[in-house]
Amino acid sequence: MSHVLFSIEDQIATLTLNRPEKLNSVTPEMARAIMTHVQHCNENDQIRAVIITGAGERAFCAGSDIAELDTYDTPWVFRNRPDYCDAIRALRKPAICAINGYALGGGLETAMSCDIRIASDTAKFASPEVKLGWIGGGGMAYMLVHNIGASNAARMLMTGEPVSADTALAWGLVSQVVPHEALQSQAREIAQMIAARPPIAVQTAKTNIRAAYAVPLETAIQYERDLQTICFATQDADEGRRAFKEKRSPVFEGR
């Protein structure tokens, strides 16, 4: 049985962590599979959005399988392991995370590596590594501080205690909380809206958002204007303007 499921339907790829008996914790083999699927998503122009979720009722992902950590020969080998969070951040296509339960440790980092996060009302979020004597290593502190602020980040990182879906929503960690049974349909609805947009503009928007984290205001504005100019030169932009004038729905081809 595959521990990472992958499917494509109507220009939307779905990647499902499929190890529910272990709270979808990630093994090195699963990390390599995620990397392979991300590469396929990036290379396949028919894929316009990606949904990432977990199998079962209890968990989205509990992070790395702790039982596997002692299999690394040295801390340096551990440092250079295949990293599934790096893989998710390498996605050029928009990523929607449907958080169906626990998002712990690397599972929380995986969720934060996605562009849009929606959560089941049963979801819980934690950075519990401190309870075991270490800290997160997949961008945990950086992403938490940028998403929920320094004080809330410190509370999560230093206590390791979980927060509820409602708290995550109030802090800005997720965009929406929905009833558990509505999670997948809501994620797909968002993915369908994005898939209907011009793909070059959408991927450029993703690039622009990433840049906004890292550069000063004036540099960010200039970069945004350059990206806008690139988009404006595409056939899709021409089609968008024509469709607006002709009062019809545009047909975008990613050119």
Question: Which residues belong to the active site?
Answer: 109, 129
Residues 33 and 120 placed together within one structural domain of the fold: yes
Whether residues 16 and 82 fall in one domain = yes
Distances (CA, A) of 34 to 3, 17, 26, 196: 10, 9, 10, 25
Residues 221 and 96 in one domain: no
Map 185-228 to HEC letters.
HHHHHHHHHHHCCCHHHHHHHHHHHHHHCCCCHHHHHHHHHHHH
- Amino acid in position 245: K
Overall number of domains in the chain: 2
pLDDT in tens, 157-177: 999 999 999 999 999 999 999
Q: Low-confidence residues of the chain, pLDDT below 50?
A: none
Question: Is 125 part of a structural domain of the chain?
Answer: yes
d(CA 107, CA 61): 4
Task: Determine, yes or no, domain membership for 255.
Answer: no
d(CA 52, CA 6): 10
Q: What is the pLDDT of residue 254?
A: 84
- Asked if 173 and 189 sit in the same domain, the reply is yes
Nearest to 16 by CA among 57, 58, 64, 55: 55
Q: What percent of the chain has pLDDT over 70?
A: 95
Query: Residue 167: how many CA atoms within 13 Å on its side-chain side?
Result: 12
Residue 250: left if φ>0, alpha if ψ -120 to 50, beta else—which one?
A: beta
Coil vs helix vs strand at 25? coil
Q: Say if 253 falls within a structural domain.
A: no
Other CB atoms within a 10 A radius of the CB of residue 226 amount to 10
pLDDT at 138: 85
69/174 same-domain check: yes
pLDDT of residue 83: 84
Residue 251 counted as domain residue: no
136: Cβ–Cβ under 8 A, 6 or more apart, which residues? 105, 106, 108, 109, 127, 129, 157
Model pTM score: 0.92
Q: Kindly state whether residue 17 falls inside one of the protein's structural domains.
A: yes
Tracing tokens 């590596």 back to the chain, one arrives at 113
- pLDDT at position 184 is 97
Q: Is residue 228 domain-resident?
A: yes
Return the CATH number at 137: 3.90.226.10
According to the model, what pLDDT value does residue 75 have?
73
Q: Give me the CATH number covering residue 207.
A: 1.10.12
Question: Domain range for residue 211?
Answer: 199-246
